[in-house]
Amino acid sequence: METKVHHTLIGLFVLLLTAAAIIIPLWLSAGFDQQQYKTYVVYVNESVDGLSVNAPVKYNGVDVGHVKSISLNPANTQQVKILLAIREGTPVTTNTTATLTTQGVTGVAYVGLKGGKVEGAKPLVVKPGATYPQITATPSIFMRLDTAISQLLNNLNEITHKFDQVLTPQNKILLNQSLENFH
């Protein structure tokens, strides 16, 4: 009789240990996260290189959610569709904008949210025919820098072209003669 009790206790101990080995990692990995999230969509017209699923979403630098999914927009393959899971209670309004940002030296990409004035701003709602409310995207610093450099190069090319038009062979001779008269 005594051996049966020991085997039963050992079996019960093994079952409890197995259950703990399953439940504790789930609990530690936030499997029991009680936060409520709302899903929003952002369409960006630039590369999302470096951004990944579960990347943070930050509102003025504060973690408020994560990236749920990243895909091409089926209606416009020049755009990337990003689904965001944002904690309920985060002030996402019609003034809120989303920007792709990188963090410090590491270059870890995340979605940064900025809000305008909260007073008078309306909460985002789902537009007819859409599945989720849409947050307006603004160009990242890299996209703005790329645009500014492209414009600068175009302006330099235009100036060079105009300068070449002014410096015809005849004008070069006249300019040289004028410079010699200054001596």
DSSP string, 68-114: EEEEEETTEEEEEEEEEEEETTS--BTT-EEEEEEETTTTEEEEEEE
- Does pTM top 0.85 for this prediction? no
Q: Which residue has the higher pLDDT, 3 or 118?
A: 118
Per-residue pLDDT for 68 more than 60?
yes
Cβ atoms 98, 113 nearer than 8 A: yes
> What is the maximal distance between C-alpha atoms in the chain?
125
Q: Above 80 in pLDDT, residue 135?
A: yes
Tokens read off for 138: 């603004």
pLDDT of residue 7: 80
- Residue 8: predicted pLDDT: 81
Looking at residue 30, its pLDDT comes to 56
More confident residue, 38 or 175: 38
Band (168; pLDDT cuts 50, 70, 90)? confident
Give the Cα separation of 166 and 37 in Å (integer). Answer: 64
Beta bridge partners of 86: 38, 65
Q: Which of 80, 88, 98, 89 is nearest to 134 (CA)?
A: 98
Q: Which of the residue ranges 25-29, 42-46, 58-62, 132-136 would you say has the lowest mean pLDDT?
A: 25-29
Order of strands across the sheet that contains 76-87: 37-44, 76-87, 62-73, 56-59, 108-114, 97-103, 136-137
Q: Between vectors from CA 38 to CA 116 and to CA 63, what angle results, nearest 5°? A: 60
The predicted pLDDT at position 86 comes to 93
Token code pair at residue 23 = 């439940």
Mean pLDDT of the chain: 82
Contact (Cβ atoms closer than 8 angstroms) between residue 141 and residue 133: no
Please determine, for residue 32, whether its predicted confidence score (pLDDT) is greater than 60.
no
Please report the DSSP string for 141-175 in residue order: HHHHHHHHHHHHHHHHHHHHHHHHHH--HHHHHHH
pLDDT tens per residue across span 77-114: 899 999 999 999 888 888 898 988 887 666 778 898 98
